[in-house]
């Protein structure tokens, strides 16, 4: 998500206010927020879900719709979302 520079702090505050609600949504196993190392106004969320149906339920929820309507005007460019399937997990060798 790329935000207008003057809206970055607004986004961070908003995310901080709703992160626990998102994390406690049914089906959410894990939630992270990352900032791009080279662009201070670009952020990524990474979340793990029990299943695609849980993610879709979240996307249809009032929580998502309310959060999205709040941040949508702050975007500098159209946000992108990707759903991934783990291909391989490489553990550290001991």
pLDDT per position as a tens digit, 15-49: 999 999 999 999 999 999 999 999 999 999 999 99
Task: Please state, in angstroms and as integers, the Cα–Cα distance from residue 83 to each residue in 39, 47, 88, following that order.
Answer: 23, 10, 15
- Asked whether residue 44 is assigned to any structural domain, the reply reads yes
The CA distance from 24 to 67, in Å, is 15
Q: pTM (2 decimals)? A: 0.89
Number of domains in the chain: 1
Q: What's the CA dihedral at 70, 71, 76, 77 to 10 degrees? A: -110
- CATH of residue 15's domain is 3.30.70.100
Confidence of residue 10 (pLDDT cuts 50, 70, 90): very high
Structural domain for 30, as ranges: 5-74
């Amino acid at each position: 998500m790329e935000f207008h520079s003057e809206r970055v702090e607004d986004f961070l505050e908003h995310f901080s206010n709703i992160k626990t609600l998102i994390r406690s949504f049914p089906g959410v196993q894990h939630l992270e927020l990352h900032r791009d190392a080279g662009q201070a106004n670009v952020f990524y969320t990474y979340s793990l879900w029990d299943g695609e149906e849980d993610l879709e339920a979240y996307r249809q929820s009032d929580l998502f719709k309310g959060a999205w309507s709040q941040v949508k005007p702050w975007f500098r460019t159209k946000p992108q979302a990707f759903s991934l399937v783990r291909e391989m997990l490489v553990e550290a060798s001991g």
